[in-house]
Structure 1
Amino acid sequence: MRKLPRAINGVHARQRPAALPLPADRKVSAFTPSPVLDRWNADAAGIRPSALEIGDNVITMFDVIGEDWWTGGGVTAQKVSAQLRAIGDRPVEVQINSPGGDMFEGLAIYNVLREHPQDITIKIMGLAASAASVIAMAGDRVEIGAASFLMIHNCWVVAIGNRHDMAEVSEYLEPFDRAMADVYAQASGRTSAECAKWMDAETYMSGSMAVERGFADALLPADQVRIDEQARADDRRTNEIRATELALIQSGMTRSQARARINTLKGTPGAASDPASTPGAGGTGLTDVFGRMLSTLTI
């Protein structure tokens, strides 16, 4: 079992909860990019542990990272913290099959897991992409299925504005990309520069490749995972809605407008018309951080 130094930029996570940078203003909204959802639908949706019963020290992450407005689900730092309190001072197993989602929530969950006083074993059951790959790096031991994937890339945004707005967005995102590269480097033993190159290339690593590069310690036995066809169908339907929302936002709609349009097509007109009842909708879609543009930050 590898024992990682629990420090980011010289700051020990067990001594300081905010070991990774988190924004002071979280009015940016988040969703998973369409290419990742497509890969999730094709390869990983519906993968679950094969055991009929899951121990009371196991945390499962079989959903998007961050609160999911469409389903009411999603993996959040608040939920993970509550689960850790219930488990108490014992070793923890975290099972992951997630396309990622909200970068900020992923960083928060990483910090929460690193604060746990006992060892944490991460098991990647299908896909740990984007924000979920950051969470996976919190493990004292990481195991991955031979047919599973770990995917890393830079912060991903949808933004509307002129070249000055885009320059501001780039400057804003740079420290988060650097922080992630540092996390991957500490976990894998590779350099931050190597990890940054893999992030630039939006790299998918198979199970054996993740082990070879140091991002995982061992492969999972084949009989530890199975395909839940009902869960796969449910995951794919929800991901189609998320991808449609993203396409509408890329066309120039605000997030509230996109959700209202989708709900109208689903037969529930006006369901998203009140931004106050729409987590992450951001009202007009203009954030305080970027002024005149809609910005959506994910990894």
Structure 2
Amino acid sequence: MLDLVMRVPGLPPLGGDVFATASSLMPGGGFNVMAAAARAGARVRYAGGHGDGAFGDLARAALAAEGVEVAFAASVGVDTGVSVAMVDDSGERTFVTAVGAESAVDPVALAGELVTGADIVYVSGYSLMTEAKRDVLLDWLALLPGSAGPGGPLVLADPGPLAAAIAPAAWARLIERVDVLSCNAREARLLSGRAEPAAGCAVLAERARPGSAVLVRDGAAGCWLSRHGHQELIPGLAVTAVDTNGAGDAHCGVLAAELLRGAELPAAAVRANAAAALAVTRPGPATAPTRAEVDELLAGQSRR
């Protein structure tokens, strides 16, 4: 969808107003994850909805610029949605979202997508917020090879800011097929009921299906990784944050790209942490770095 990003000194009070110091309209949402993965060297295919209006045109142009393939034709008579992202002086962001064509998916078109064990399927929690798309997606995931055994694609899921609003039955169905669950500390708290990211990661790992992994992104601290009964902190990198919008997306996209290269989860998480660190030093949602930029940052860290 499109992000209307407004930089503000602080959020307005109820009934009040505040002047933005800067604003921009650019693709965001799932685009951020796809752009991050593409910049990290992955081949990326968008199997979702997009509208036939001006916002849809902007989204398609941005996808093409990143080299992302678009699987389906535009929805007729509906445009791509918009999210207003207000970013305050601390770099924190607050969203108001109006959904559009991306909130639905054609079940016939999705069923025709060829997915193999060499692929990673990324699922956003936002896709579970509308009934029509939620049911189509979950039915499709349940039929993927590997749902009842080995041989299928790796499924990476991020519940997103609305994690607590996902219907429990839908969440249970998703977790049955997820191989790697990645969420931030706030989302882990909402889903697990535990205040500390490490404790939340442990609880979510207990609830996940056997053999899967859980990542909890904890800002500058890095991310907690729990798998096979073992938990560890993958340290982050200290940077000055300008805008946290899109940091989690950069983390997920680069994590997916590294896993596609054959990296083990801890090594992929190291590079994902570095990508997220670079992303927060830049204003805007789609701020994921290239693979070369991650290489440079990590090389600099190793020389210290």
Quick check: TM above 0.5?
Answer: no
**TM-score calculated relative to the size of structure 2:** 0.28
**TM-score calculated relative to the size of structure 1:** 0.28
